Chains A and B, each alone.
Chain A
Amino acid sequence: MRETKFWTWHILAGAVVLVLLGLHMIVMHMGSIVGLLNPAGGEPIAWANVLARSRMVGLVAVYILLLGAALYHGLYGLRTILLEMGPGAALQKAINVLFWIGGLSLFVIGTLAAIVAAR
């Protein structure tokens, strides 16, 4: 039952990533076509554009949500592949613990960066 819940969250996180990473890709990789959320013009990675996006509160919230959803979706996918290899019970537990700690740590780093950059 718990694994079914994890799988359902994996699909839901995938749907969130699809929409939000789609938006991120449009902003960052289709800039010359749509020019979305790049107020200073030029390259999306230019500091003026990065600073402007970092200070948009709604966009910061979107990026934190995307960070959490992408970490969960990606790490759950990798965990599935590793568990498919048939590790023993102790190794399975170690993988679970490592992925939870690693995922939460990366989420804290990314969220702190987004909040500090917004100030």
Chain B
Amino acid sequence: MALSTQHSAPRYHPNRLGLIGWLAGGRWGIERYVYTLHRITGLGILSYFLLHIFVTATRALGQNWWEGAMARVDHRVFHIGEFLVFAAFAFHAANGIRLVLIELGWAVGKPEEPVYPYRTSLNVQRPLLAAMMILAAILIALGGWDFISLPHGH
């Protein structure tokens, strides 16, 4: 049987894995899971932010409205949620700096001759990833200290 020599590129490439691809698409390195966490924290921050716009807008209506709104969210569940948003921001920001440094080509290393033992751009990117995760952990610890030290609701 003769092989066809006509190869037409498909016009449309469906995203076959969908959301599953965020976690289970193959043998990925830690960067892929950091990418997934970046998206999850981004969605979490956005959800909080959209609600936050309406809650904080009550300050324009006066003290009673503001204190009423704050009383409604003065609950341990909301305080824990608030800390999680802070932690998500710390991670998202630190990882975002890393992504921009890589996007702009400042953190991928210089091209080198392929001499054994081989060095790849990961030799630059992995230490940057570790540094950014340490930065995020320090920020989360500081925010956690503030969270514990302030009086909270029931």
Given A25-B89, A29-B86, A50-B59, A18–B143 Cβ distance below 8 Å?
A: no
A51 to chain B, nearest CB (A): 8
Total count of chain B residues near the partner, CB < 8 A: 38
What chain B residues lie within 8 Å of A33 (beta carbons)?
142, 145-146
Report Cα–Cα, A67/B142, bound state, in Å. Answer: 25
Which range contains the number of A residues in contact with the other chain? 35 or more
When each residue 76-99 of chain A gets 1 if its CB lies under 8 Å from chain B and 0 otherwise, what string results?
011001001110000000000000
What chain B residues lie within 8 Å of A14 (beta carbons)?
96, 100
A45 at interface (Cβ–Cβ under 8 A)?
yes
Cross-chain contact B100 with A43 (CB below 8 angstroms): no
Cross-chain contact A117 with B93 (CB below 8 angstroms): no
B149 at interface (Cβ–Cβ under 8 A)?
yes
Q: For residues 14 through 42 of chain A, which have their beta carbon under 8 Å from a beta carbon of chain B?
A: 14-15, 18, 21-22, 25, 29-33
Given A14-B96, A47-B63, A32–B53 Cβ distance below 8 Å?
A: no
Given A30-B146, A31-B146, A117-B59, A47–B67 Cβ distance below 8 Å?
A: yes
Report Cα–Cα, A25/B82, bound state, in Å. Answer: 11
B97 at interface (Cβ–Cβ under 8 A)?
yes
B28 at interface (Cβ–Cβ under 8 A)?
no
Report Cα–Cα, A30/B86, bound state, in Å. Answer: 10
A116 at interface (Cβ–Cβ under 8 A)?
yes
B75 at interface (Cβ–Cβ under 8 A)?
no
Given A33-B146, A81-B39, A113–B57 Cβ distance below 8 Å?
A: yes
Q: For residues 89 through 114 of chain B, which have their beta carbon under 8 Å from a beta carbon of chain A?
A: 89, 93, 96-97, 100, 103
Report Cα–Cα, A7/B49, bound state, in Å. Answer: 21
Cross-chain contact B15 with A85 (CB below 8 angstroms): yes
When each residue 1-33 of chain B gets 1 if its CB lies under 8 Å from chain A and 0 otherwise, what string results?
000000000001111001000000000000000
Query: Can you name 7 extra interface pairs (CB under 8 A) apart from A21-B89, A33-B142, A74-B42?
Result: A51-B59, A54-B59, A70-B49, A109-B54, A109-B57, A110-B53, A117-B60
